[in-house]
Amino acid sequence: MEIKKAGPEDASTIRNLAQLIWPEAYGEIISKEQIEYMLELMYSEKSLKEQMEKGHQFILAMNDDLPIGFAAFSKKSDEEPKIFRLHKLYVLPRQHAQGVGSFLLNYLIAESKAAGAILLELNVNKFNIAKQFYDKKGFTILREEVLDIGEGYVMDDYVMVKGI
């Protein structure tokens, strides 16, 4: 397994992975309509390229030259340069429990630390089993947060943090 730093040319690969992963990850948590809305909102090729332009570093987990997962992270803000945000971390369902998520997380923690980060922050849906993964990795709940994402949909999340 290896990490590939993703660029705009990889937007369609990331979009395709998200379209495979999201229905299984969120199918029992949010409606099919909300999944479709959020995929278009956050994973259209245009949106992914805009996120990259804003400084989100995307990485792909590759196995035999095949993408099996991805993550995105960045500095939280210029005002808080020692806090980094994990924006996305997703692994193909058939690759779960094989160390891919840990591999992605360890890589982005090392990159964040090298850039001066001392804290990693993320949002996770309150009902997503991924919360258990973050618990095991030493993240703790900072607060609850409900975000209006438009069209009558919300994200009902925990904000979690970990010192790095």
- Of the pLDDT bands very low, low, confident and very high (cuts 50, 70, 90), residue 133 is very high
Domain ranges of the chain: 2-163
Domain 2-163: CATH superfamily, name plus number: Gcn5-related N-acetyltransferase (GNAT) (3.40.630.30)
pLDDT, mean over the chain: 97
With b for 16 or more beta-carbon neighbours within 10 A and e for fewer, the 100-124 pattern comes to bbebbbebbbebbeeeebebbbbeb
Q: Which two tokens stand for residue 160?
A: 């979690």
What confidence tens digit (pLDDT) does each residue in 104-130 have? 999 999 999 999 999 999 999 999 999
Q: What is the pLDDT of residue 118?
A: 98
pTM here is 0.95
58-100 pLDDT tens trace: 999 999 999 999 999 999 999 999 999 999 999 999 999 999 9
55 φ/ψ sector (left φ>0, alpha ψ -120 to 50, else beta): left
| Gap between the Cα atoms of 156 and 11, Å rounded | 26
Instruction: Report the pLDDT value the prediction gives residue 129, as an integer from 0 to 100.
Output: 93
